[in-house]
Copies of this chain bind each other. A is one copy, B any other.
Amino acid sequence: MKSGNENIKIDGIDKKILRYLMQDARKPILEIARNIGISGAAIHQRLRKLEKSGLIAGSKFIVNPKVLGYTTMAYIGIFLDKAMSNPVAVKQLEKIPEVLECHYTTGNWSILVKVLCKDNEHLMHLLNKKIQQIEGVSRTETFISLDQQIDRQITI
């Protein structure tokens, strides 16, 4: 077992706290305390417990890429040569900032990546000049996301 143990027990109060903070990481603990009728110190202590358990992985500001002109999201299935060691390809993908996610997957492809580009031209350039260029990449299949309807975390 690594740092966080997996035998965490979370009760209804923990869930309430988490739901507030998953929605707004900067919501003051004291405000949450007033809302759910418990002291700030108690919440503080519970958060320390949840952090220690590894359930809370951190917090993030969420940026809206559209405002910066990034409007084209796509998934790309990548076929790798059998001889190719996948980790080497992943290391190359890591260097490409447009690649936001990368998964080893079962099924057709070796790897599935999610990318974010400014437009179709940008995506085409990414495919032809960057991804296809990676050693071991034999073929790709691209699926453009026309519209994302759902984007959320696990329900606590």
Chain B residues whose CB sits within 8 angstroms of the CB of A109 once the complex forms: 143
How many angstroms from the CA of A153 to the CA of B64 in the assembled complex? 10
Q: Are A100 and B60 in contact (CB under 8 A)?
A: no
- A147 and B60 contact, CB distance less than 8 A: no
Q: How many copies does the complex hold?
A: 2
Q: Which of A4-62 contact B (CB under 8 A)?
A: 4, 6, 8, 18, 21-26, 53-62
- B148 A103 Cβ-Cβ under 8 A: yes
Q: Are B63 and A62 in contact (CB under 8 A)?
A: no
Chain A's interface size range is 35 or more
Q: Does A83 contact B (CB under 8 A)?
A: no
Instruction: Judge whether B55 and A63 touch: CB under 8 Å.
Output: yes
A60 neighbours in B (Cβ, 8 Å): 21-25, 59-60, 62, 153
Q: Which residues of B contact A4 (CB under 8 A)?
A: 64, 67
Contacts of A68 in B (CB 8 A): 8, 55, 154
State the CA gap A89–B131 with chains docked (Å): 33
Pairs across A and B, CB under 8 Å, 10 listed: A8-B67, A53-B67, A58-B61, A60-B153, A75-B103, A90-B149, A97-B155, A99-B150, A100-B150, A101-B151
